[in-house]
Structure 1
Amino acid sequence: RKNLIMLSSKGEKMSEILTEECFDMTVTIESILSATHNDLWRAIEEWECLLSKESLLDRVKEVKRQRESKDIKIVPYEPCYQEAFKSLNKEWINKYFKMEEADYAAIDNPEKYILEKGGEILVALYKNEPVGVCALLKMNDEYYDYELSKLAVSPKVQGKGIGVLLGQTTINRAKELGGRNLYLESNTILKPAIHIYEKLGFKKIFGHSTSYQRCNIQMELIIE
């Protein structure tokens, strides 16, 4: 008589996650062990000293971030990414607001509305799946060169630093194109997005005209 035990599809996915988490923990502990040179009790003291500077959780998170970053690529927009550009933006807009005329113009025809006007779109791939997008709009403005717009990251991969990486890559691309003064519009309800913009160096400004009803905060970045 035999008892066969098998994992369900959900269990297999959980097993993969646990395997990765155990790997991160092992690498972290081994890195701490390699930094100690004394007996166990002194080693424990060294551990306490090291962990007082950076917790074990933070160290594991950093190892995880570095491992996952190897699966992240930022690539230029291609027509095959149009549906991802559209769906990723509609997802966050419809969650918090409602689609506006300018939204439809940009995501329904990005080639005409963004690319043909001198702008660019970057796409974040995670394990070769498009999970994030960011647009750089060429502005017809006496002061601002480009607008950073349509930054969207799938909820499935948030927390991996993809938003910051996308934003920074877009800023670098604007600099390569000769842009120095960047502009963006957002809403303060989008706290994670505002945090990303501030981390990238954007500062609040006031008084610039906008075509979006949902816009209640405007920001700029002067590239040195």
Structure 2
Amino acid sequence: MTNYVTSYIISLMELFKRAGKMAMGTRVRFLSEQIGQDAAEIYRVYENDIQPKWFPVFYVLSNEEQNTVTSIAEAIGHSHASVSKILTEMSKAGLVLEKTDSQDRRRTKITLSKKGKDLSEKIERQYADVNEAIEQISAQATNNLWAAIEEWEYLLGQKSLLSRVLEIKKRRESMDVKIVAYQPKYKEAFYKLNEEWISKYFTMEKPDRDALENPESYILKKGGSIFVALLNGEPVGVCALIKREDLGCYELAKMAVSPKAQGKSIGFLLGQAIVEKAREMGEQRLFLESNTILKPAIRLYEKLGFVKVVGPPTPYDRCNIQMELKL
């Protein structure tokens, strides 16, 4: 059996070497299981009738006279349901008592039973020995695992591993996107991409059709621009820079991204292209109109630097917010 376990551990170590940081979760879980197995055996050796998973709850109750399920859950970072389950198991083992709060009968107060209090005194010797053993390991190790865990917990608390991976995925996929100037061959895409999102949330209006059916005369010949986002050569996003004579500036408008291409920063790349074009033209500000139900779009505009303003009457029934960017 010992040879099998040794062989298993060696195989795992080889896997970790080959997989590298991709095996982070598996490696941390393996280390946790190793320590957990030892912890269970340590409780048995010291004849302390407690399961390792009970320790956080037991420790809180050992250091405070009484508690509630909610306060324990907050103290140890567990869910209410998880703490309730542990308390049920500890209650069956005779370690805790539950009683209704005399001042608020909706609350249940949790305390250690006499058996639990006796155990909390007896277990101090185990605590001291375990602490000394960990100090020995720390002294022999090149890196301080305890400090590293604290640091990782802090950093992951600021931004999870999932969030970081998704950001990198988005950045990598956005590198496959190419922003190009409008050509007549993109006329159909310009119309269909805009029609798709407008029809999903609102109704196509006359100003929409004027611009989408005649982009050359309505936008380009008046001094505007249109940019198209290509993904593997396919148009998946569009955005226009439209001259507004009534405002004395240009408007960022007709931005649309295909649902199948969302999550690749295409809207942001199109917006950046529009802003940069306006700067090249020497414009002082950019204007746009939108609707607050389009929360991702509003966040995108804010990321580009737009702020809410009160502008002139809008030709669109769907518009309930106007924004401006100082260039």
The bucket for the TM-score relative to the shorter chain is 0.7 to 0.9
CA shift in 2, pair 1:39/1:92, >3 Å = same
Contact map agreement 1:184 1:219 (CA 8 A) in 2: yes
User: Partner of 2:264: helix, strand, or coil?
Assistant: coil
Contact map agreement 1:28 1:59 (CA 8 A) in 2: no
Q: Which residue of 1 aligns with 2:179?
A: 74
Query: Is residue 220 from structure 1 mapped to residue 324 from structure 2 by the alignment?
Result: yes
Q: Name the CA distance, whole Å, in 2 between partners of 1:152 and 1:194.
A: 13
Q: Which residue of 2 aligns with 1:131?
A: 236
Q: CA deviation at 1:156?
A: 1.0
Q: Which residue of 1 aligns with 2:88?
A: none
Contact map agreement 1:135 1:149 (CA 8 A) in 2: yes
Q: CA deviation at 1:181?
A: 1.5
Q: Name the CA distance, whole Å, in 2 between partners of 1:135 and 1:28.
A: 45
Q: Which residue of 2 aligns with 1:83?
A: 188
Of 250, 269, 286 in structure 2, the residue corresponding to residue 165 of structure 1 is: 269
Q: CA deviation at 1:62?
A: 2.3
How many residue pairs were aligned?
A: 192
User: Partner of 1:188: helix, strand, or coil?
Assistant: coil
Query: Is residue 201 from structure 1 mapped to residue 311 from structure 2 by the alignment?
Result: no
Identity of aligned residues (%): 58
Q: CA deviation at 1:39?
A: 5.3
Query: Is residue 177 from structure 1 mapped to residue 281 from structure 2 by the alignment?
Result: yes
Q: Which residue of 2 aligns with 1:186?
A: 290
**Greater Rg over alpha carbons, structure:** 2
Q: Name the CA distance, whole Å, in 2 between partners of 1:76 and 1:43.
A: 52
Query: Is residue 117 from structure 1 mapped to residue 219 from structure 2 by the alignment?
Result: no
TM-score (norm 1): 0.77
Of 150, 154, 174 in structure 1, the residue corresponding to residue 258 of structure 2 is: 154
The correspondence of residues 6-17 of structure 1 with structure 2, limited to 5 A, is: none
Q: CA deviation at 1:209?
A: 2.4
The correspondence of residues 18-29 of structure 1 with structure 2, limited to 5 A, is: 26=22
In structure 1, the gaps of 5 or more residues are 1-22, 30-36
Q: CA deviation at 1:27?
A: 11
Higher relative contact order (CA 8 A, sep 6+): 1
Q: CA deviation at 1:26?
A: 3.7
Contact map agreement 2:268 2:304 (CA 8 A) in 1: yes
Judging by fraction of residues, say which structure has more helix. Answer: 2
TM-score (norm 2): 0.54
Contact map agreement 1:102 1:211 (CA 8 A) in 2: yes
Over the aligned positions, Cα root-mean-square deviation in angstroms equals 2.5
Contact map agreement 2:171 2:264 (CA 8 A) in 1: no
